[in-house]
A and B are shown apart, each in its own frame.
Chain A
Amino acid sequence: QKEVEQNSGPLSVPEGAIASLNCTYSDRGSQSFFWYRQYSGKSPELIMFIYSNGDKEDGRFTAQLNKASQYVSLLIRDSQPSDSATYLCAASAAGNKLTFGGGTRVLVKP
């Protein structure tokens, strides 16, 4: 059973709209959570991380964490065609290892 789950998509959003991505995790020991963006043929790049319940905003991105419900989400405001990519959610428990979800492919249409 996968420990971090994401909808594979594709999630299609019009340019300028909000893209909402969700991620659930099964390990209650997970302490830190990360969102990465990966363009085709490239390695992942970190968007943001969160480890406290609530919202964390960075520019057009907002991460939300709800430990009681074991889910993490990422909102992308004012979506641009350059945001089209696969978004990977990752969770880290004690022991330092990051566990990745399968990724959600986002397609922003002009």
Chain B
Amino acid sequence: GAVVSQHPSRVICKSGTSVKIECRSLDFQATTMFWYRQFPKQSLMLMATSNEGSKATYEQGVEKDKFLINHASLTLSTLTVTSAHPEDSSFYICSARKDTSHTEAFFGQGTRLTVV
């Protein structure tokens, strides 16, 4: 399968600071990347969909000014959690798809964010 690399795998930050998470597709060009958040014992919640070169589409209830998404190239998308608070502590996972026709999405390793 295709490889999606997410970095960092774990990060601890202080309240009020910002954290950037990177998601790279290593061996394919991803037309679309997705960002998810997962709280303990819950399923994946889609936060936003990003397409290369255009603005991300956020799901209802997700603050776009707080969760900044940039998809500058076909192999890199970033999620920045701005002014982080303890309630933002979660497991953030990105995934990437090659195209829209029946193809599967591959997931990065996830980032465990802890805001103290």
Binding site for B on A (CB under 8 A): 31-32, 34, 36, 41-46, 49, 51, 88, 90, 92, 94-103
The reply on B97 being an interface residue by CB < 8 A is yes
Minimum CB–CB distance from A54 to chain B (whole Å) comes to 15
Chain A residues closer than 8 Å to B108, beta-carbon distance: 43
What are 11 A-B pairs at a CB distance below 8 A? A42-B110, A43-B93, A44-B44, A44-B93, A46-B1, A88-B43, A90-B105, A98-B34, A100-B43, A102-B43, A103-B43
How many residues from B make CB contacts under 8 Å with A?
A: 24
Q: Is the CB of A51 within 8 A of B43?
A: no
- Closest-by-CB residue of A relative to B42 is A102
The reply on B106 being an interface residue by CB < 8 A is yes
Chain A residues closer than 8 Å to B34, beta-carbon distance: 97-98
Minimum CB–CB distance from A3 to chain B (whole Å) comes to 11
A-facing residues in B89-111 (Cβ within 8 Å): 91, 93, 95, 97, 100, 102-110
Given A88-B43, A102-B43; 14 other pairs, CB 8 A cutoff: A34-B104, A41-B112, A42-B110, A43-B6, A43-B107, A43-B110, A44-B93, A46-B106, A49-B104, A96-B32, A96-B97, A98-B105, A99-B46, A100-B44
A96 vs B49: C-alpha distance when bound (angstroms): 9
- Closest-by-CB residue of B relative to A94 is B100
Q: Is the CB of B102 within 8 A of A43?
A: no
Query: Knowing A34-B105, A96-B49 touch, does A88 contact B100 (C-beta < 8 A)?
Result: no
A30 vs B44: C-alpha distance when bound (angstroms): 18
A10 vs B105: C-alpha distance when bound (angstroms): 26
Q: Is the CB of A88 within 8 A of B110?
A: no
